[in-house]
Amino acid sequence: MYMAELELILAAPRGYCAGVDRAVETVEQALKLQGAPVYVRKQIVHNLHVVADLETRGAIFVDDVNEVPEGATVVFSAHGVAPTVHEGAAERALDVIDATCPLVTKVHNEAKRYDQRGYQMLLIGHADHEEVVGTMGEAPGAMTLVENAADVRTLPDYPVDTPLAYLTQTTLSVDETSGIIAALKQRYPWIESPDKGDICYATSNRQAAVKELARVTELVLVIGSANSSNSCRLVEVARDAGVDSYLIEDESEIDPTWIGNRTKIGITSGASAPERLVLGVIEWFRTRSDGITISELETVHEDVSFHLPRPIRRALALVDTPSAD
Ligand code: SF4
């Protein structure tokens, strides 16, 4: 199918966030510093291309620390782990490099603080997502998962003097989460929460950007993997804003029938999708149309970066004091 001249509009910000950038570079540096293989617990970030690329360079992805040879190096993914995973790694004398995003660590710390003060916690998030599993592991006896507003009705009738707080997964839909929070506040008016919300800057910025993109385009393609929470949320936000939207792993998944007579195509990418995949999609359109114009719709400028984990910085001589990090 050959297409007329197309206007491609790219959302900005899109793609890699600071936490993903840090996690991927952590594995790359570990491979450079120690040589292959480097074991990684779970997908370092939720993107098949990133994982496949690191595999070809010597990373071995495992589901459990028990699969890592005793004494070997293991990198923990950006999504964070429960304390029991750290304990399992210590039992096998593994050399741990923890690439948990600092913004996920912040939620773990909030959970620990509330737990120490005897709070019951309601965690808004998606069951079985690695981040949720890790966060719940901080206080398994004191945390209940809330996946949607309907779940709020099924929660216990906590007495009004029950210390109660809510936390959230970092990569949720901003709009949907505010509805769940409103339902929680209606049911438990005394419920507390951390001063700053837990949905991270990258998630909210990419959702705000795709909302604007949906206003000026006829179709929005979101590049990301199906298990990437923030990528799936971008599709939902675009659809809620009134345009057709599809999640694609890369250009090979574009169905030409989606385009039809449309000439204004929006493109964005989830926080774990590398920019080269965006370039692949642009090229796909370039070779199948009478021509393309490319512009960028920037809604906010991002300038966030995180230090690499301390073991990597120490090895690179970027820090000189040992630490338990
Ligand atoms: S999406 Fe947010 S929480 Fe997740 S790695 Fe990126 S910055 Fe960190």
CATH code for the domain in which residue 85 is found: 3.40.50.11270
Considering the domain architecture, whether residues 149 and 183 belong to the same structural domain is answered as: yes
Considering the domain architecture, whether residues 157 and 241 belong to the same structural domain is answered as: no
Ligand 1 centroid to residue 7 C-alpha, Å: 30
Q: Which of 131, 138, 212, 251 is catalytic?
A: 131
Considering the domain architecture, whether residues 210 and 291 belong to the same structural domain is answered as: yes
Report pLDDT for 324: 45
Q: How many domains does the chain have?
A: 3
Report pLDDT for 321: 52
Report pLDDT for 195: 85
Contact 312, 33 (CB under 8 A): yes
19 lines ligand 1 (CB under 6 A): yes
What is 21-89 written as a DSSP string?
A: HHHHHHHHHHHHHH-S-EEEES-SSS-HHHHHHHHHTTEEEESSGGGSPTT-EEEEPTT---HHHHHHH
Does some domain include residue 248? yes
Angle formed at CA 250 by CA 247 and CA 256, multiple of 5 degrees: 75
> Among residues 137, 155, 187, which one ends one of the domains?
187
Does some domain include residue 322? no
| Residue 3, helix vs strand vs coil | strand
CA of 18, closest atom in ligand 1: 7
Q: What is the largest CA-CA distance in the chain?
A: 67
Ligand 1 centroid to residue 171 C-alpha, Å: 7
Considering the domain architecture, whether residues 109 and 63 belong to the same structural domain is answered as: no
Considering the domain architecture, whether residues 163 and 252 belong to the same structural domain is answered as: no
**Which of 200, 201, 228, 231 most suits a substitution to test ligand 1, by most atoms within 8 Å of the C-beta?**
200
Does some domain include residue 111? yes
Report pLDDT for 81: 98
Considering the domain architecture, whether residues 294 and 207 belong to the same structural domain is answered as: yes
Torsion (CA) 318, 29, 134, 148 in degrees, nearest 10: 110
279 is written with which tokens? 């370039």
Task: Using alpha carbons, select from 11, 17, 30, 22 the residue that is nearest to residue 312.
Answer: 30
CA of 22, closest atom in ligand 1: 5
Considering the domain architecture, whether residues 218 and 271 belong to the same structural domain is answered as: yes
103 lines ligand 1 (CB under 6 A): yes
Q: Domain range holding 219?
A: 6-16+201-298
> Among residues 157, 187, 217, which one ends one of the domains?
187
44 lines ligand 1 (CB under 6 A): no
Beta bridge mates, 60: 39
DSSP 289: B
Residue 163, φ and ψ in degrees, nearest 5: -65, 120
> Among residues 100, 118, 149, which one ends one of the domains?
100
Write out the chain's pLDDT in tens, 325 residues.
678 899 999 999 999 999 999 999 999 999 999 999 999 999 999 999 999 999 999 999 999 999 999 999 999 999 999 999 999 999 999 999 999 999 999 999 999 999 999 999 999 999 999 999 999 999 999 999 999 999 999 999 999 989 999 999 999 999 999 999 999 999 999 999 998 889 999 999 999 999 999 999 999 999 999 999 999 999 999 999 999 999 999 999 999 999 999 999 999 999 999 999 999 999 999 999 989 999 999 999 999 999 999 999 999 986 555 544 5
- Report pTM: 0.94
- Which residues make Cβ contacts (< 8 Å) with residue 57, sequence separation at least 6? 28, 31, 36
Considering the domain architecture, whether residues 217 and 175 belong to the same structural domain is answered as: no
Considering the domain architecture, whether residues 12 and 26 belong to the same structural domain is answered as: no
Burial of residue 5, with CB atoms counted within 10 A of its CB: 0-12 exposed, 13-18 middle, 19 or more buried: exposed
Contact 59, 52 (CB under 8 A): no
Does some domain include residue 133? yes
Considering the domain architecture, whether residues 217 and 253 belong to the same structural domain is answered as: yes
Does some domain include residue 25? yes
Contact 45, 26 (CB under 8 A): no
Does some domain include residue 315? no
| Residue 288, helix vs strand vs coil | coil
Does some domain include residue 313? no
Considering the domain architecture, whether residues 253 and 270 belong to the same structural domain is answered as: yes
Ligand 1 centroid to residue 287 C-alpha, Å: 34
The CATH number of the domain holding residue 278 is 3.40.1010.20
Ligand 1 centroid to residue 135 C-alpha, Å: 14
Tell me the C-alpha distance between 231 and 53, whole Å.
20
Q: Is 302 a catalytic residue?
A: no
| Residue 154, helix vs strand vs coil | coil
210 is written with which tokens? 């795709």
Report pLDDT for 4: 84
